[in-house]
């Protein structure tokens, strides 16, 4: 297997996480989740992928009202949320942190508890972003997982606590040093499996072409598409 970009690894992790989903809805600035969902759809053609505010990939004609309606009806089972801060209770902060203001929470306070397969995603993995307690609670729910640029955590419903499942571009010790909240460690914790040759071929072929119209800078940087 040849070299691969960290974005490709993260997309592959997301594709594995959304296996079995029926409908994945993705925010406007989320090229890696979009790539992962498109990759998953190749082997699961029944998966519906909706990109908010993104050209033809956005099926919603009345803003986000339809998105909220579908979520309320239980017709969206995968959604992606990030945050300036994420804490060990699964709460996210999209409003303010360290004196800085951010765009705001929009519908995350509704979507998070309504969508059973909400995946928290943040590329940066640091004590600045993964904190003991968020400064402002924008939304709180029951996540399916937390994926960062260095680790994959599952969520333990009974304990209401994250558990480290695997690490990538890092070590188990470095993950501990860079995480501001406490978490459990799986007895089977391991390095995140790298992309397979088939996954890389699909990402660099049909997935890249599908992602490029909506995320041209991302496609150019990761795959060299013009």
Q: Answer for the pair 130, 86: CB distance below 8 angstroms, yes or no.
A: yes
| pLDDT at site 129 | 96
| pLDDT at site 199 | 97
Q: Is the model's pTM score more than 0.85?
A: yes
User: What does the domain layout of the chain look like in residue ranges?
Assistant: 6-217
| pLDDT at site 61 | 56
CATH number for 6-217: choose from 2.40.50.100, 3.90.1150.10, 3.40.1080.10, 3.50.50.60: 3.40.1080.10
Q: Which residues of the chain have pLDDT under 70?
A: 1-2, 53-64, 102-105
pLDDT digits (tens, 9 = 90+) for 18-64: 999 999 998 777 999 999 999 999 999 999 998 875 555 555 555 56
């Amino acid at each position: 297997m040849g070299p691969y970009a960290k974005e490709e690894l993260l997309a592959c992790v997301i594709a594995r996480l959304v296996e079995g989903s029926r409908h994945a809805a993705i925010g406007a600035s989320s090229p890696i989740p979009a790539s992962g969902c498109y990759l998953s759809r190749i082997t699961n053609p029944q998966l519906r992928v909706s990109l908010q505010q993104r050209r033809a990939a956005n099926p919603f004609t009345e803003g986000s009202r339809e998105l909220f309606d579908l979520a309320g009806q239980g017709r969206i089972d995968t959604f992606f949320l990030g945050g300036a801060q994420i804490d060990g209770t699964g709460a996210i902060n999209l409003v303010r942190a360290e004196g800085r203001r951010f765009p705001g929470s929009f519908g995350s306070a509704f979507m998070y508890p309504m969508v059973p397969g909400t995946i928290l995603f943040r590329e940066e993995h640091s004590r600045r972003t993964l904190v003991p307690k968020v400064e402002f609670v924008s939304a709180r729910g029951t996540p399916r997982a937390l994926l960062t640029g260095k680790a994959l955590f599952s969520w333990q419903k009974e304990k209401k606590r994250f558990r480290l499942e695997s690490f990538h571009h890092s070590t188990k010790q470095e993950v501990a040093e860079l995480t501001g909240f406490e978490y459990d460690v799986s007895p089977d914790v391991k390095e995140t499996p790298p992309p397979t040759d088939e996954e890389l071929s699909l990402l660099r072929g049909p997935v890249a072409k599908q992602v490029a119209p909506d995320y041209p800078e991302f496609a150019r940087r990761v795959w060299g598409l013009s």
